[in-house]
Structure formats: C-alpha cells, structure tokens
Structure 1
Amino acid sequence: MGDDSCINSRTLYDIVWTCLTTIFACIWVSVHPNMPPQPKEIPRPHNESAFSGSWRDYYVARIWDATSALRRRLKTMVVALIAPEIIVGFAARQWFAARRFSTEHGVSLTHGFFYSMGGFVDTEGYVIVDEKQLTPAIISAIKAIPEAAIQDKSKRDGLAKLLAVTQILRIVAQSLARWNQHLAITSLELATVAYAVVTTFMWFFWMNKPLDTHTAIQVCDKTSAENYDSAQGGLHVRTDTNQTIKSRSSWDAIDRFRGMLGGYRNYDIFELKNVPAFFSPPQYWPLLENTAFRIQCAVAIGFGAIHCIAWNTEFPSVVEKWMWRSSAVAVTGVPVAFLVIRDNDILESSPDWLDDVFIILALLGLPLYVIARLFLLVLPFTALRSLEPTVFIEVDWGKFIPHL
C-alpha cells in the first residue's frame, strides 16, 4: 500500500536536486570565458631548503598560475548565477564585435570571437583587441589562420550541452504540465526556468566562441607590433617591459563594475598582456553598444517577469510573499528606467522634470535592484520549509498522450 501511494509523488530532494543540477548545467555550458593569462615563467628560489618561505611562495605562485583559467571560468559563472543579465549583455557586446570583425575583414565568426576574447597576440605577448592595432600585416596574418586551427583549441563538450538541453527541456515541460494540471509549482522551479531562459541567450550569442581556450596565437612580429599607430600618423612606444603593466588589478571597484556593463574601461589598450575577465572590444559604433545594452535590459525584464508568475504562490509567511512580490517587481521595473535614460530620443522629447525623475529612479533603483536580486536568490530556498501538498504530486504525463 505504501509503495503504491508513492508511484505518482516526488520528494523535496527530487525538486531541489533537479533545480540545482539544471541551473548548474545551464551556466556551465553557456559561459564562455575570455582567454586567461598566459603561463608565466616563475624562477625557482636559490635557497634549496624545502621548508623555506621562498619555496613556499614559489609553489603558491605555481598553483595560482596553473589555476588562472579555472578561476576565470568560476568568476564568470558566479556572476552568471547572481546577475545572468549582465553576462547576456557581455555576450551580446562580444557578438557584435566579432560579427563586425568578421564582416569587415572577410574571416569567420570564430576568428572574430577569438579576436574579441584576446586570443591573438604579438611576439611580445601583447594582445591585439582594438581596431587601432589592426595593421594590414596583422589582418593578413589573421586571415592566414584556418578556422579549424582555432576550433582545435576549443574544448567543446557536445555531451555536456546535450545533457544541459535535456535538463532545460525537462524543467520547462514539467512546469508547463504542472500549470496545465493545476499542480503547485515551487518558486525554486520558477527561478530555474528563468535561469534556463536567460542562459539560452548566452548560448546563442556565444555559439561560435571558442570554449576554454588557454593558448593564444601569435600573429605578428615585433616590428609590426611597434607600429600599431602608423596608419594614424603616429608611432606608439611601449613602456619598459620591466615596469608594471596597467591591467585589471589597477581598476577600482567602480571601474570594474562599469566595465562589466559595457561602460568606460580604465586601461591602456596597448599595454595589456591579457584581457580582463569581462572584456569586450570597444564599440566605436554607439548603435551597437546601445543595442547590447537594450538586450541586457530586456533580458533582465524577462527574468523578473518570470519570477512574477509566482505572484500567487503560497509562501511560509506573508512577509516572505511580499518580499518575493516586491523583489520581482523591482527586478522587472528597474531595467525599464535604465532603458528610458539610455534612450536619448525619449529624454529629449520629455520635460526636464521628468528627466530628473527617471535619473533619480535609476540611481535609487540600482541598490534596490541588487537587494531584490539577493532576495530572489534566497527566498526560493526558505520557501521550501512549508509547501502545498500538491507540490509533491507528480505530473500525470498520460493525459498528454492520446490513448490508442
């Protein structure tokens, strides 16, 4: 009797495990990090004592250098978990840059992404990621590289993508079937559907981007590398290689955050030996940058709208229910204010006082948006302590299959 009663039921463990594995699979296969820093030559200490501080520092440096690619991937995945819409905007900016590079220079989109992610370097190890650096010699060298040579460096895992797609289809189909059969859906399942939808946009924009590529390709010699600015009538002179190169570590927190959003990046493009984790080539066409920003905001609005579906879902307390509702509304509404502010046509045609209102809403909305996103990360798990009985009833898939 006990066994028969559990045939069409599911446990809390089943719900949590399915959601967590789906979210992880979505982010894992969708995130395509930039080229990590190239391996460095770390000199061995002169002191042969195995327990000396110098040897300890040596092995720490070796481990830190060896895990640079993994740390960069995990960093991007954490951001994708906390704010997936930011990664979608980042992916869209790289797609626009790669597509423009591919169209203008007659190469594949894979070449364009490899250029955008810092895959091409000169013989001194400086990355080539800006139009100002693209001399005829560099362009010819890039064209001479077969697309297959770049793809060989990519570690694409078809099986992982297939499993991820299967998980996504499963969670979406199950949520729709539960809605059709009037069965309760947990807020965690709705959040999982939201992640599945958003990460699909990441996968679309990064479809042709090499995955987990760790080795850059040299495309020019020292002479052409020193004459990047010759086409503009100037000669770029690099600083002494012994001096400290300005890189991501010199940014402050605001610069890094603005860089993730596609804003001003405070670094010298000619002094980079590796691109930052959230780097995309400068968009010299404002239309492309604005389009990427609109895509980012639209995805954020969609992400919040999916959470709004749980408006009437039962929560353990009234406070948690209204925290969920207000957070879902904030995540849906704040990006609208940013869209209005970014759209100059709307601002120019509106009264000055309305412009000020939108700006104030945006300034107040940013911290509100961050707080709301944190609530939407925590509340799905706190709500699991008290669930409706129908949550544990499994979908009757037989109702969707015609009986013969």
Structure 2
Amino acid sequence: MMWKEKIQPILLASWLNYYALLVRYACRKNIHAAYQHNTYQAPLRRKQVNDDSSQPKYSLKHLLICGPFILVKFKASMDPTITALPRLHASAPNSTPQENGTNLVGWVDESPNRGTQKLISSCCFTIFICTWVVIHPRVCNRKSVAFLHKLALFLKSIMAPELIAVEGLQEWSQSRKMVRNCEKYTEKEFKLVHAFYISMLGLRYRTERGDKVIWPNQFEWLLENGHMEWRFHKSWGLDESDIKDKSSADGTVKMAALIQAAWFVVQAIVRAAHNLPLAQLESMSLSYIPLFIITYFFWWNKPRDIHSPSVINLPQMTAEELSTFEKMSISNLFDNEGTVEQTSYWNVWALTPRVFEKEAEDKALEVEKAAYEAFIQAQYGKEPTGKENLRRDDNDPELGNYGFGDTRASRSCASLPLAFQPKPRDIVVAHWDPDLYGSKIWPLACLFGASFGALHLISWHGTFPSIAELWLWRASGLASIGSLLVFMHFPKVVFRWGGPLTIISLVSPAVYFLSRIAMIGGVFAALRASDPRIYDTYAILNYWIHLL
C-alpha cells in the first residue's frame, strides 16, 4: 500500500472533524452572544434569535468554502478569558477551592466545559499511544505467544516506561555496534533495519527438531568466517523491502502518534498559561510522553509486529566449526525445538537477551577457569593439560562433579574449595550494557528516567480528597525518583548475597514498583473529590483535531 493511500483516510477524517468543529463553534458563538443579551431561545424558533449585527453569522456554505480563512478569523477574534458557554461556578484564577469556598466535585457530566468522561478518555488515549503503540516486540512463531508477549510488554511499559526506554537504548546501541562490525563484509549495505531484525530473533536456522535462533554474534561470526556471503542476503530473508513489508510499523502512523502526544502537551501548557490546574491523571499522562518520544527515537528503524521469522539452512561446516557456532548461542529459551522451557508461557515476560550478557558470562567463566587451573597447579604442582585431566573417570565412585560447562574435574580435584564448586545459575533482575553504563550517555539516561516521577510532581499542590492521600502522592513520587536512580546505579542486580549493598540493590526496584502502584491508584481515587477548576476549559482547547 502506497503512503498516499495510507494517509488519505487520516486526512479525510481530519478535515471532516475540522469542518464539524467550525460549525459547532459558529453556533456556540451566536448562542453565547444570546446569553449575554438574555435573548437566547430554542434553536427551532429562528426569527426570535438575537439579530445583533456585531456578532458573526456563518452559513454552512461559507464554512465549507472559506473554512481555513474563517478559522484564522476565529482564532484572532477569540476572547481568551471566556469558555464556549458561561461557567456556573467560575473560580478566581489563582485561588483554591478552599479559599473561595467552592466545594470539591466528584463525577462531572459532559457540558460546554469538559466532563470526567472526556478527561479520562483523553488521558487514557494518550497513555495508550505512549505504551501500546510504541511497543516493538520480538518475533514469535506462535500467535498466542506473540499477543501475550506484547501484552506483557504493555503492562511493563505502564508500570515502568523508563525500563522500556532503557531497553530500547540498549537494543539501539547493540544494533549500531552490529552495523559497524558487519560493514566490511557487506559493502556497507548492512543497515539498522537488518540489525534490529536479527536482534529481535527474526533470523533462524533449521535443525532436526525444529529451528533455532541466529543471534547477532553468531551472524557476525558467519560473515567473518566466510560461511555467508552478503550477495545472497535476499535468500536469507534479509532484503530490506521484504522486512518492511512484513512489518506493521509505518512512519505515517508513528508521526501521527507523535503529533497527538505533542497536542496533549500543548493543551497542558495552555491550561497552565491561563491558571487552569491540571488533574493528577493529566500529570501522569504527561509523564509518559518524554519517554515515549525517546523510545520511539531508538526504535524508529525497528520492524514491528512480525509474526513469521526467516528460516534458513546453515551452510556446510566442520564439526568443530558447528560446535563453536552453537556455543555462541546466547540462550536456548527462544528456540523452537519443543522443550519444556521453550514452550513455557513464562517466556512472554522475558526481555530479549543481549550479546553483552553472553560476553560477560564468558568472561566470568574464563576468569573462574583460570583461577581453577592456578589452584590445581599450586595444590598438586601440575597444570591440567587437556580434557583428559579435567574429565571425570566413570570408574571412580569418589569423584566429585566440578567443572565449567561440559568439563568435569578428575579425582584429584575432589578437595576443591567452595569457591570452585558448581554454582546455580543466577536470577538476573537487571543487567545494563557495560559500554553504555561506563559512557557519558548513562547519566543522561538516568536523568530521563527520573523525569517520569518528576513530572508527576506537577500536581504537588494539587487538590486531593484528604491530606493523607496528598502526602502519599508526594512521597510516592519522590520514592519513585530516588529508588530508580539507586536501581540504575548498580551495573548488575542479581538474587545472590554479595554484602549489604545486595539489600539496597534488591529493595530499590521493589520500592519503585510499590510507589508506582500507589501513584496509579492515587490519580483515579482523586477523581472522587477534585478541584472543580480542572473541568474549566480555555476556548481554543475545545476546537482541536484528533489525528488518531
């Protein structure tokens, strides 16, 4: 589908909405004038309606023909001190409900000003744009798993959009690194879209029991060792046009979502400029927008909602080369060979592992292995030489099971200290890219992450049903900022005792999520007794165009 065909329905709906709003505004201008002169009558009795020549009168024909020019005239003639219709309980610009004696209000029906339903729908729509629309899930073979995985990412982005933004940053960084590494083997034709496609598990190879993922480091190894030639990349399913055809991501939709989010920000600025308070729900909605824009920036070239990976046959290799290739695999949880771990629905919550995690694991293994060999040499005056000295003797019943990967220690290692005993696999809570963590961009990432909780505090002086709820909101906002900064301070957080700092590293994400739950509950609970001024509107805010 051409881009013109995609954008035509959006433009048509926008113009229809535009003219409908012009007609609505023209009618309300005349009704407002009639209110001022106390001559308003039912619309059916046309001859009794005020005939003040000073008020503009526009027919439908004039609106349709001269719409753009009339809109300019309307904007120039709008009185910024009034709304479309007079408010029954207008408040002083800088006063609170307690100061001017106005009672708090609960549910407010739709009126010439906005009502509770419109407020909630507008905010929820903005949050939806900043979460569901921005999500770019990995490639899943099964549709049920694909939907559940996207739903899991949606819930994560609702609760912790900062972490989704950091995930986007890490994937963008890995993809750029992959492009640099593959340039010399692909005549600089390897682009970000290819790197993203491989990183999101879009390229697989057939096996006897199904198919397995080709990870970015494995793909680079295949190119580097001449097992793949870039001139045949179309047969691998890596043609750029084919990837974009399989993807549902579209620049027009992304731009429309950005415009919608930008308009929500404009509304908030206009309200603040005219001393109209924001609802707590609006403050929370605003908090998603900066992270939404940042995540979109990192994932702009990433394909979206691809349900069918490219499955290829591996080229001919020696047994040693195949073993080396398979050992480079980052994880087998995302392979499709029918194992219990691979078919578990718990995998929908898992983020896609990154190459730096595998590199860190291999490096730790090498350090541990070197320490093991040094211990054997110091203990027995002899250095292990090959697999024979490290392989378990099946005829010796006293052998211990010590090793690294598939390697087993001999009976001479039965007295190994605890440091060299096999350890259970760590449960990793978070692991940041070392290249990013040590770079100048990481403090900036922490700052943008803290902006989410900070923007909630726009409602620091907002009206809440009780003092307890007010201070719970404030404390939760501050706790979310502090706990996130502490959490991002640790390069890796695992469920393993490593000293007193382990408690801080594990408690900080728990505090963050508890504060987020309190803040989400607080914004909706506050609507049962709110400042009535949050429903007052400035005239221009009633005449805007939804692009989505």
- Determine if contact 1:138/1:220 at 8 Å carries over to the other structure: no
Tell me which moved more, 243-252 or 98-107. Answer: 243-252
- Secondary structure of the 2:530 match is coil
* Change in CA separation of 1:242 and 1:159 when aligned onto 2, cut-off 3 Å: closer
Write the distance in 2 (CA, Å) between the matches of 1:162 and 1:135.
37
Matched, 1:186 2:279: yes
Tell me which moved more, 106-115 or 363-372. Answer: 363-372
Shift of 1:112: 0.5
Q: Which residue of 2 aligns with 1:333?
A: 482
User: What amino acid maps onto 1:105 in structure 2?
Assistant: C
- Determine if contact 2:453/2:477 at 8 Å carries over to the other structure: yes
Shift of 1:155: 1.1
Larger fraction in helix:
1
Write the distance in 2 (CA, Å) between the matches of 1:341 and 1:310.
30
Question: Residues 133-144 of structure 1: matches in 2 within 5 Å?
Answer: 134-136=221-223, 137=226, 139-141=228-230, 143-144=233-234
User: What amino acid maps onto 1:97 in structure 2?
Assistant: Q
Gaps of 5+ in 2: 1-34, 41-83, 88-110, 184-189, 363-430, 493-497, 542-548
* Change in CA separation of 1:389 and 1:91 when aligned onto 2, cut-off 3 Å: same
- Secondary structure of the 2:138 match is coil
> What TM-score, normalized to structure 1?
0.72
- Determine if contact 2:465/2:526 at 8 Å carries over to the other structure: yes
Shift of 1:361: 4.0
Write the distance in 1 (CA, Å) between the matches of 2:242 and 2:536.
51
- Secondary structure of the 1:4 match is coil
- Determine if contact 1:32/1:212 at 8 Å carries over to the other structure: yes
Shift of 1:385: 1.1
Question: Residues 64-143 of structure 1: matches in 2 within 5 Å?
Answer: 65-106=142-183, 107-124=190-207, 125-132=211-218, 134-136=221-223, 137=226, 139-141=228-230, 143=233
Shift of 1:335: 2.2
* Change in CA separation of 1:82 and 1:17 when aligned onto 2, cut-off 3 Å: same
Question: Residues 22-101 of structure 1: matches in 2 within 5 Å?
Answer: 22-36=126-140, 38=141, 65-101=142-178
Matched, 1:385 2:462: no
Write the distance in 2 (CA, Å) between the matches of 1:175 and 1:184.
9
* Superimposed CA distance per residue, residues 240-299 of structure 1 (whole angstroms, 9 cap, x where no aligned partner): x9772644849799x958969x9789x99xxxxxxxxxxxxx99x721355587565433
Shift of 1:225: 10
Identity across the alignment (%): 25
User: What amino acid maps onto 1:382 in structure 2?
Assistant: A
Question: Residues 2-17 of structure 1: matches in 2 within 5 Å?
Answer: 4-5=85-86, 9-17=113-121
Gaps of 5+ in 1: 39-64, 269-281, 344-354, 399-404
- Secondary structure of the 1:215 match is coil
* Change in CA separation of 1:206 and 1:248 when aligned onto 2, cut-off 3 Å: farther
Larger radius of gyration: 2
- Secondary structure of the 2:137 match is coil
- Determine if contact 2:131/2:154 at 8 Å carries over to the other structure: yes
Shift of 1:140: 2.5
- Secondary structure of the 1:287 match is helix
* Change in CA separation of 1:118 and 1:243 when aligned onto 2, cut-off 3 Å: closer
- Determine if contact 1:89/1:295 at 8 Å carries over to the other structure: no
- Determine if contact 2:126/2:285 at 8 Å carries over to the other structure: yes
Tell me which moved more, 112-121 or 71-80. Answer: 71-80
Write the distance in 1 (CA, Å) between the matches of 2:283 and 2:248.
31
Write the distance in 1 (CA, Å) between the matches of 2:179 and 2:275.
49
Q: Which residue of 2 aligns with 1:18?
A: 122
Shift of 1:342: 3.9
Write the distance in 2 (CA, Å) between the matches of 1:360 and 1:102.
39
* Superimposed CA distance per residue, residues 324-362 of structure 1 (whole angstroms, 9 cap, x where no aligned partner): 10010011111222344449xxxxxxxxxxx98866544
* Superimposed CA distance per residue, residues 199-227 of structure 1 (whole angstroms, 9 cap, x where no aligned partner): 11111111111011111113442635976
1:365 pairs with one of 505, 508, 519: 508
Write the distance in 1 (CA, Å) between the matches of 2:449 and 2:286.
14
* Superimposed CA distance per residue, residues 30-80 of structure 1 (whole angstroms, 9 cap, x where no aligned partner): 1110111x2xxxxxxxxxxxxxxxxxxxxxxxxxx4433222222211111
Tell me which moved more, 143-152 or 119-128. Answer: 143-152
Shift of 1:177: 1.2
Q: Which residue of 2 aligns with 1:50?
A: none
Write the distance in 2 (CA, Å) between the matches of 1:225 and 1:119.
25
User: What amino acid maps onto 1:131 in structure 2?
Assistant: N
Shift of 1:166: 2.9
Write the distance in 2 (CA, Å) between the matches of 1:372 and 1:356.
25
- Determine if contact 1:198/1:303 at 8 Å carries over to the other structure: yes
Write the distance in 1 (CA, Å) between the matches of 2:257 and 2:317.
44
User: What amino acid maps onto 1:102 in structure 2?
Assistant: V
Q: Which residue of 1 aligns with 2:4?
A: none
Question: Residues 280-291 of structure 1: matches in 2 within 5 Å?
Answer: 286-288=434-436
Write the distance in 2 (CA, Å) between the matches of 1:334 and 1:12.
33
- Secondary structure of the 1:123 match is strand
* Change in CA separation of 1:316 and 1:67 when aligned onto 2, cut-off 3 Å: same
* Change in CA separation of 1:69 and 1:152 when aligned onto 2, cut-off 3 Å: same
Matched, 1:167 2:253: no
RMSD: 4.0
Write the distance in 1 (CA, Å) between the matches of 2:519 and 2:119.
17
- Secondary structure of the 1:29 match is coil
Question: Residues 254-333 of structure 1: matches in 2 within 5 Å?
Answer: 286-288=434-436, 297-333=446-482
Write the distance in 2 (CA, Å) between the matches of 1:258 and 1:210.
15
1:244 pairs with one of 331, 335, 339: 339
Q: Which residue of 2 aligns with 1:41?
A: none
Write the distance in 1 (CA, Å) between the matches of 2:347 and 2:117.
42
